[in-house]
Amino acid sequence: MTTIAKEKHRLAYTAPDFTIDKIDLDITLGESCTTVIATSLVKRLGNHINNLLLSGENLILHSVLVDKKPAIFRVEDNQLCIENTPDQFELQIVTEINPAANSALEGLYKSGSAFCTQCEAEGFRRITYYLDRPDVLARFTTKITADKANYPILLSNGNRIANGDNTDGTHWVQWQDPYPKPCYLFALVAGDFDVLKDTFETKSGRTVALELFVDKGNLDRSHHAMSSLKKSMAWDEQRFGLEYDLDIYMIVAVDFFNMGAMENKGLNVFNAKFVLANPESATDTDYFDIERVIGHEYFHNWTGNRITCRDWFQLSLKEGLTVFRDQEFSSDLGSRAINRIRNVKIIRGPQFAEDAGPMSHPIRPDVVMEMNNFYTLTVYEKGSEVIRMLHTILGEDKFQAGMKLYVARHDGQAVTCDDFVQAMQDASGIDLTLFRRWYAQSGTPILTINDEFDANTCTYRLHVKQHTPATADQKEKSALHIPLSIALYDQGGGYLGDQYDQVLNIYTDQQSFEFTGITEKPVVALLQDFSAPVKLEYAYTEQELLVLLRHSKSAFTRWDAAQTLLNQCILANIKNFNDQQSLYISPELLVVLAEILRDQQLDKSLIAGADDGNGKLEKRSVTLGTYDENMMEYQITDGLAEDDAITFPEDGLEEGMKTVVSTDGSLGQSNPAGGEDDGMLDNDDGMVDDGMTQDENGMVDNTMDGAEYSGEEDTTNVIGGADNGDAEPADTQEAGSADDGEVQP
């Protein structure tokens, strides 16, 4: 008979009838027979006489004692019901499990030559009967006994407090975690590993032992992971003021782990692909992913472990926030522009598709069938964008103040997404009531923007409409608080000033903003740095996009403009091809792209990151031989491989000579004597971002994503003069206000 899972509803949450303050685990490992003795201190919460109900799956129950006396109990529907308990008591449960037969890879399982655990979301109930819910936090002490020859390394959460050998060839190690944690963060690993050891000195002067365990023979591939861990620990101290709290931090890398990684308190378990890097074969992406994932799991120490979720509907509380933190870590240590582009491509691609599909759900869902089935891009990636919007609205200082209040207020607690937003609101003084809708509403909002310029009054107006299409789970949508980051430029690309470089707060279905003191219609950079996970509809002209591509202060905006221009070019040429018309690419676009490739001030990662794995444009030093008059070209004697290709070779080129692109898109020369060039031969041929190439007919191939651009209460905000542009949702905001950015809906 098929068992149909029951729906679980967020609003059906009730606080537990009992809690467990402390648990001692005595685990004797055997492949097919592992014995678990769990001794817990249980306390009744509230004035009730309910029985104690504990969850358990695939367990053989041997005994149940209450205050060392046989308990009155029954087992039914994977629950252990203990009757007539006192308000506070010691509970001892002895169970037997079969790790080798645990094909679910949840709880304690045997894979290959090692034991391992995975307890998130509800795996601990496969180890012993327990209050397997994240809002029950206990201090764990764990004693592990196993055959010493086969399992010389025995690991669990916390600090090592004792160890010893037995006469029967077994040995034991005892661990103690001084901080209360939910059972989903419990971890146990037993096996034979190589270990890389190091130390880290915290900002308070404590020395933390670092141990990285890998399969035998892989030690030489683990050094980048150790370096990434130390960078993560230092960065969290510097950026967030959060210091590691235990005496030891451990990472175990195994091939058989069924997830990417798991942030178990002090004992992170990783799939080996996110730890090991062979210097002879690892790619830049491999190194980046290792650094990112190790950072992510470490950052959970505070955002997920010390402060955890009240229930699993609040999953984005820890995951969205920690993804934001690992993105900031990667951006602070690497290229912020490249990392932002990478993250936005995930949102615009698979996450937007998830929003529009049959499984659409908010970042905090209201209904689930199974607690393990919503570890989704929406919860993680869109969840991080919601945190980023908070950061955009509040600014770095107020956001950090909110983080400090959140930690001080909720350390050692299981809380909700609302608790996090409330801490941000209380610390900043900014009303975030409307912003909370992001947690409850699914789908991708669409911002439709129109503009107008009044030359007589030197006034520029933006008219913004927001609309979220119906989704499979929600037919009716409400207006959201959307931070729209903008900047204004003149037609020549001149920056109009910081007073027009601001975040417009969209609160209603329809809003208008006025910018005064402007003498000509500006070029507006909309949704700078992708300030909100929305689709944008605005009728950019080619000339406006070229201005943004060439002059925008935001590297992301420049990239986005390039993608839009290239996509427009591709679509136009597809139509031309189908209509048997000539293919065409704008000479001015080629000029601008060539300028970007030569821009010494541009983030070099943006040029180097032009490769999407299908092709890469790069500037390379080469050695030129003699000029072949018949072929009308130079021979390159050194600097190229057989598989390399040069596009649009031209005569008259000499080593060290600069090349330029004329207005018609053709190559010309400058600095015949070599000038200040670095000896690089410029390929000013129009090849650009992500493998975009041009064939002999001018057809463009580009594999990049593109932004979507096209050409009720109404409020108007007036912005200009010395105003910093912080918009209030009133009918009119006068120019030059002294508003400090705090928004009051």
Q: Please give the positions annotated as active site.
A: 297
Tokens matching residue 309? 């979720």
The angle at the Cα of 10, spanning 157 to 426, to the nearest 5 degrees, equals 75
**Residue 345: helix, strand or coil by DSSP?**
helix
Rounded Cα–Cα distance for residues 607 and 604 (Å): 5
Half-sphere exposure of 263 (CA within 13 A, CB side): 23
Rounded Cα–Cα distance for residues 567 and 378 (Å): 26
State the DSSP string of 258-315. SSSEE--TTEEEEEGGGT---TTT--HHHHHHHHHHHHHHHHTTTBTTTBEESSGGGH
**Residue 112: helix, strand or coil by DSSP?**
coil
Half-sphere exposure of 277 (CA within 13 A, CB side): 20
At position 250, the amino acid (one-letter code) is: M
Tokens matching residue 585? 């690419």
For 105, left (φ over 0), alpha (ψ -120 to 50), or beta? left
At position 615, the amino acid (one-letter code) is: G
**Residue 433: helix, strand or coil by DSSP?**
coil
Instruction: Report the DSSP beta bridge partners of residue 193.
Output: none
Is-contact 182 134, C-beta < 8 A? yes
What radius of gyration, in Å, describes the C-alpha atoms of the chain? Answer: 30
Tokens matching residue 118? 């995975």
The angle at the Cα of 583, spanning 578 to 589, to the nearest 5 degrees, equals 135
Cis peptide before 121 (omega within 30 of 0): yes
End-to-end alpha carbon distance in the chain: 54
Rounded Cα–Cα distance for residues 481 and 506 (Å): 6
Query: What are the φ and ψ backbone dihedral angles of 185, each rounded to 5 degrees?
Result: -95, 0
DSSP label at residue 100: G
Q: 162 CB contacts (<8 Å, ≥6 apart)?
A: 173, 174
Q: 529 CB contacts (<8 Å, ≥6 apart)?
A: 340, 485, 554, 556, 557
Buried/exposed code over 272-309 (b: 16+ C-beta within 10 A; e: otherwise): bbbbbbeeeeeeeebbbbbbbbbbbbbbbbbbbbbbbb
At position 341, the amino acid (one-letter code) is: I
Closest CA to 341 of 718, 705, 631: 705
DSSP label at residue 692: B
Q: 81 CB contacts (<8 Å, ≥6 apart)?
A: 51, 52, 53, 73, 74, 75
Query: What are the φ and ψ backbone dihedral angles of 188, each rounded to 5 degrees?
Result: -145, 135
At position 550, the amino acid (one-letter code) is: R
The angle at the Cα of 606, spanning 602 to 612, to the nearest 5 degrees, equals 165
Residue 234: C-alpha distances to residues 505, 730, 745 (Å) = 34, 44, 38
Rounded Cα–Cα distance for residues 500 and 338 (Å): 25
Rounded Cα–Cα distance for residues 533 and 24 (Å): 46
Q: 683 CB contacts (<8 Å, ≥6 apart)?
A: 597, 617, 619, 646, 647, 648
Q: Is 731 exposed, middle or buried (0-12, 13-18, 19+ CB in 10 A)?
A: exposed
Closest CA to 118 of 31, 28, 188, 191: 188
Is-contact 118 105, C-beta < 8 A? yes
